[in-house]
Amino acid sequence: DGVTEVLAHRNDNLRDKFMEVPCSEDYDSHKRFAGCTPRKCGRGVTDAVITREEAERIRRIAERGLSLGGSDGGASILDLHSGALSLGKHFVNLYRYFGDKIQDIFTEEDFALYRDVRQRIQQRIAQVFGISSSAMYLTKPTFFSRMNSTGAKTTHDEYWHPHVDKVTYGSFDYTSLLYLSDYSKDFGGGRFVFMDADSNKTVEPRAGRVSFFTSGSENLHRVEKVEWGTRFAITISFSCDPEHGIGDPLLG
């Protein structure tokens, strides 16, 4: 691994921490959008945008949704936008599979909280990177993840490989993660690792912590394997291209 530095410890209470890194050339092969396409790149961590109580409420939304399915391997996802839900070795469409029963699982308040949290994260990213919040579009996939130490059964369960979001999902320009559980209390392993040439920079999850970054190769990253317990998070990503925009999820 070489040298590892901790960018954010679980016990830190960070108002704003930002580390600028030079932008990669990944954005050059995509159409540029003035006032949005990254000109300043880097990564930030804040514990001041979402409260721990809100994170717990959001985790309960994830738990209720994921209780309907779950992967046979260690990584399960729930996407409220598309309805994608891990089930065994496959995915099902939550809305088609469960139909009207969805109203018994989620409430309008759940979706309102989800929307409110998404907007606050979007505004913080815009502020830090000096872009216009209205020039950013929520993009897919945006999803809850639940990870535990069960061995992988399919390639979808192998979440620990290093990757670049802009390469994996061409639409991503800004990626954010809202953590819904605490490193070393709710789970072991599972730290988020930025892989820089000179050293690794890790973020230790804590409920309510938002980690956000530009999605190009300047932020190559991976997640450590979860060794025990259960790690919950939600990935919320933004594109500068309106054609890749999606709406907030709606109940029914």
**Mind spelling out the 3-state secondary structure of the chain?**
CCCEEEEECCCCCCCCEEEEECCCCHHHHCCCCCCCCCCCEEEEEECCCCCHHHHHHHHHHHHHHHCCCEECCCEEEECCCCCEEEEECEEEEHHHHHHHHHHHHCCHHHHHHHHHHHHHHHHHHHHHHCCCHHHCEEEEEEEEEEECCCCCCCHHHCCCCCECHHHHCCCCCEEEEEECCCECCCEEECCEEEECCCCEEEECCCCCCEEEEECCHHHCEEECCEEEECEEEEEEEEECCHHHECCCCCCC
Q: What is the pLDDT of residues 114-140, one digit of tens each?
A: 999 999 999 999 999 999 999 999 999
Asked if residue 1 has pLDDT above 70, the reply is no
Q: Where are the domains of the chain?
A: 4-242
Asked if residue 72 has pLDDT above 70, the reply is yes
Averaged over 10-25, what is the pLDDT?
96
Q: Which residues are catalytic?
A: 231
Q: For position 176, what pLDDT does the model report? A: 98
| Mean pLDDT computed over every residue of the chain | 95
Q: What is the pTM of this model?
A: 0.96
Q: What is the pLDDT of residues 20-62, one digit of tens each?
A: 999 999 998 889 999 999 999 999 999 999 999 999 999 999 9
Asked if residue 252 has pLDDT above 80, the reply is no
pLDDT tier at 2, thresholds 50, 70, 90: low
Averaged over 227-252, what is the pLDDT?
95
Correct CATH for 4-242 of 2.70.98.60, 1.20.200.10, 2.60.120.620, 3.40.50.720: 2.60.120.620
